[in-house]
């Protein structure tokens, strides 16, 4: 007997890069994809989608696309979206570097969220970290002028790397970091990894930066 796994069809909530290339002519036309002209925000490495569900429900006038390389995790997120029929949220299964270079039109995104990116603890694996200069350049291309980049982590050293890359980049201005607030119920956290870290009392490092408009000067760079 065949041992092939059967997968529930989670479209349109979960699509792979190949699906988008096939069904949307090679790249995202957000208006056609979401069926409206609302702003689009990306959640890079969305995991099982707590942020996507909470933000998608709280902001029905914003569209969200999670990008997740691990199809198992991405499909878990999409199952939550399908259960709630959240029409303003989708998950793209695939590598963010491919998604940003091949599918997302320049200047078409109003915010990028990067929560708890994999820290790759071993020194010899550090080059696998996604938050680097190339990633920032791709975000600059994807973002509209004035667009926001949010990144949180519980890894102090990685946050040091992220914030120094961002603060040295004249294309961005550093905004005040969001303050921590008390959770009001067991799932009242920004993401699953934030939930896990806060439950064991780890500090969270939060950063927020804004892509400056043409001709505008980022604070602290002159």
> Annotated catalytic, 137?
no
Residue 192, both tokens: 């699953």
List the beta bridge partners of residue 215: none
Q: Which is nearer to ligand SAM, 93 or 212 (CB)?
A: 93
3-state secondary structure of 113: strand
3-state secondary structure of 130: coil
Contact letters for ligand SAM, residues 152-191 (x by CB under 6 A): ---------------------------------------x
Spatial distance between the Cα atoms of 110 and 108, rounded to a whole number of angstroms: 7
Do 64 and 52 touch, CB atoms closer than 8 A? Answer: yes
Q: Which is nearer to ligand SAM, 29 or 121 (CB)?
A: 121
C-alpha distances in Å from residue 222, one per residue of 136, 161, 170: 21, 22, 9
Of these residues, 29, 61, 118, 186, which one is catalytic? 118
Identify the residue among 96, 136, 162, 211 touching ligand SAM (CB under 6 A). 96
Site stretch for ligand SAM (CB under 6 A), options 21-29, 64-72, 137-145, 162-170: 64-72
Do 34 and 60 touch, CB atoms closer than 8 A? Answer: no
Contact letters for ligand SAM, residues 40-59 (x by CB under 6 A): -----xxx------------
- Does 34 engage in binding with ligand SAM (CB under 6 A)? no
Give the N- to C-terminal CA distance of the chain in Å, as an integer. 69
Residues near ligand SAM, by CB under 6 A: 45-47, 67-70, 73, 95-96, 115-118, 130, 191-193
């Amino acid at each position: 007997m065949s041992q092939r796994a059967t997968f529930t069809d989670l479209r349109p909530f979960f699509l792979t890069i190949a699906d988008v290339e096939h069904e949307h002519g090679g790249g995202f036309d957000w208006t056609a994809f979401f069926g409206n002209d609302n702003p689009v925000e990306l959640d890079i490495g969305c995991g099982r989608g707590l942020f996507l569900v909470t933000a998608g429900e709280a902001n029905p006038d914003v569209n969200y696309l999670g990008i997740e390389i691990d199809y198992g995790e991405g499909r878990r997120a999409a199952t939550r979206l399908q259960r709630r029929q959240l029409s303003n949220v989708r998950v793209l299964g695939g590598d963010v570097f491919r998604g940003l270079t091949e599918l997302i039109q320049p200047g078409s995104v109003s915010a990028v969220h990067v929560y708890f990116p994999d820290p790759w603890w071993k020194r010899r694996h550090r080059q696998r970290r996604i938050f680097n200069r190339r990633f920032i350049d791709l975000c600059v291309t994807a973002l509209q002028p004035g667009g926001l980049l949010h990144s949180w982590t519980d890894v102090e050293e990685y946050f040091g790397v992220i914030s120094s890359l961002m603060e040295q980049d004249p294309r961005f201005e550093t905004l005040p970091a969001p303050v921590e607030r008390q959770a009001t119920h067991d799932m009242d956290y920004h993401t699953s990894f934030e939930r896990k870290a806060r439950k064991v009392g780890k500090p969270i490092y939060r950063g927020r930066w804004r892509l400056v408009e043409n001709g505008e000067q980022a604070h602290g760079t002159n």
